[in-house]
Amino acid sequence: MFKVGDYIICGSNGVCKVEGIGSDVPGAQEGRNYYTLASVYQKGKVIYTPVDNEKVIMRPILKKDEAVQLIEEIKDIDMLWINDERKREEAYKEALRSCDCRQLVAIIKNLYTRRQERIAAGKKNITNDERYFKLAEDVLYEELAISLGISKEEVREHIVEVASRE
């Protein structure tokens, strides 16, 4: 169970801060406790979800040392590539639903590489690829920003800086 003040990942809602725990929420089922979550990056967005919710992935954000380790391991994480377009899109959706940082890195690496190859070949990037790239990047960078105590905008620079040291 999370505590008030904890930062967590709450499914597709991204990084949220636990603002309250209790049964006094709109539409609450009697005898059931709920988290009141405030989205960190979607100002004004409040989520009420049962403490025992098994349908939505809720987990603590990475600790600072885990975030540092993830960034150091980015170069070793394999890309997520599937030749079949439909299966690839489904794999991207599943990776995003999993809230797993390593899977998000795999999507980002794959789509970045694909974008570079298309640009080199004189082709435009595919809109769907851009959408999944941005989604994966936003979710990952939001979590890393909170874990590392930096702004979301600084995360990319930080990753590039760490990669260039090695």
pTM over 0.75: yes
Q: What is the mean pLDDT of the chain?
A: 92
- Give yes or no for residue 73 having a pLDDT over 90: yes
pLDDT single digits (tens) 35-58: 999 999 999 999 999 999 999 999
Give the DSSP letter string of 18-47: EEEEES-STTPPTT--EEEEEESSSTT-EE
Query: Which tokens belong to 82?
Result: 């599937």
CB 39 within 8 A of CB 15: yes
pLDDT single digits (tens) 84-131: 888 989 999 999 999 999 999 999 999 999 899 999 999 988 888 999
Give the residue with greater pLDDT, 26 vs 37: 37
CB 79 within 8 A of CB 73: no
Cα dihedral: 90, 94, 100, 101 (round 10): 30
Residue 113, C-beta contacts closer than 8 angstroms, at least 6 positions apart: 79
- Percent share of the chain, pLDDT over 70: 99
- Give yes or no for residue 28 having a pLDDT over 80: no
- Stretch (H or E) spanning 15: strand 15-22
Question: Residue 164 in 3-state DSSP?
Answer: helix
- Set out the domains of the chain in order of their start, with CATH numbers: 7-59 (no CATH), 62-165 (1.20.58.1290)
Please provide the size of the chain in residues. Answer: 166
